[in-house]
Amino acid sequence: MTETALQWLPVYGLPVLVLIIGLGCLGAPAPASLTLLISGSLIASGDFEAVPVYLTSLLAAIVFDHLGYSLGRWGGPYLQRRRIPLMDRARYTLEERGGAAVFLTRWLLAPLGPGVNYVAGAVAMPMRQFTPYDIAGEVVWVTAYLGLGYVFGTYVSLIAETLGNATGFLAFGVLAWLLWRFIRHDTRP
């Protein structure tokens, strides 16, 4: 499925790029990082132009992150009424370290990115805090993945798999650690 979708990337270019990145930012299982690596290698082979690809990827990531944030913000009051202690914990964590959480989940802990977008909106993290860290994180993500694709074009599938597994391992490790702290804190009398 992924492979057939990606064969349209060189053919239709930017719209396919926007679609895959957008779906990825909203949490759908779309291969956004792989797509960026491939785009980088297609810049190197002369099939794509660097500036439009870079700007489009960056803009798409930022816009769709904010869409996720807005959806969370819209659904937030409903969750608020249900008095979920995990949500209180998430709000507390985001108030304390929200900037770092948003920044790192754009690239280093990428699998948690969509979830952080929704939760940041749901707990009404101020946009003046969300937006700058989101932009900074997406600049790192887009630059790193396009750059790696450009430089190591022939090893795109190897890099995509390795980075995907490494960020997955890190992201769920951090999530497990946060949940463990929450449970320990919560069960203490």
CA dist., res. 93 & res. 101, Å (int): 9
Q: Does 154 bind other proteins (CB under 8 A)?
A: yes
Provide, rounded to whole angstroms, the least separation between the CB of residue 43 and other proteins.
Answer: 10
Q: Does 187 bind other proteins (CB under 8 A)?
A: yes
Provide, rounded to whole angstroms, the least separation between the CB of residue 155 and other proteins.
Answer: 7
Q: Does 168 bind other proteins (CB under 8 A)?
A: yes
Q: Which two tokens stand for residue 106?
A: 């754009």
Kindly tell me which residue out of 50, 63, 86, 100 binds other proteins, with binding defined by CB under 8 A. 86
24-32 LR contacts (CB < 8 Å, sep 24+)? 24/64, 24/114, 25/60, 25/61, 25/64, 25/65, 25/67, 25/68, 25/113, 25/114, 25/117, 26/64, 26/67, 26/68, 26/114, 27/68, 27/114, 27/115, 27/118, 31/2, 31/6, 31/160
Q: Does 84 bind other proteins (CB under 8 A)?
A: yes
Kindly tell me which residue out of 11, 29, 51, 189 binds other proteins, with binding defined by CB under 8 A. 11
Interacting residues with other proteins between 107 and 136 (CB under 8 A): none
Kindly tell me which residue out of 64, 172, 188, 189 binds other proteins, with binding defined by CB under 8 A. 172
Contact yes or no for 174/109 (Cβ under 8 A) = yes
**118/130 with CB nearer other proteins:** 118
**9/125 with CB nearer other proteins:** 9
CB atoms within 10 A of CB 64: 21
Residues that bind other proteins (CB under 8 A): 3-4, 6-11, 13, 38, 41-42, 44-47, 82-86, 153-155, 157-158, 161-162, 165-166, 168-169, 172-173, 175-176, 179-180, 182-183, 186-187
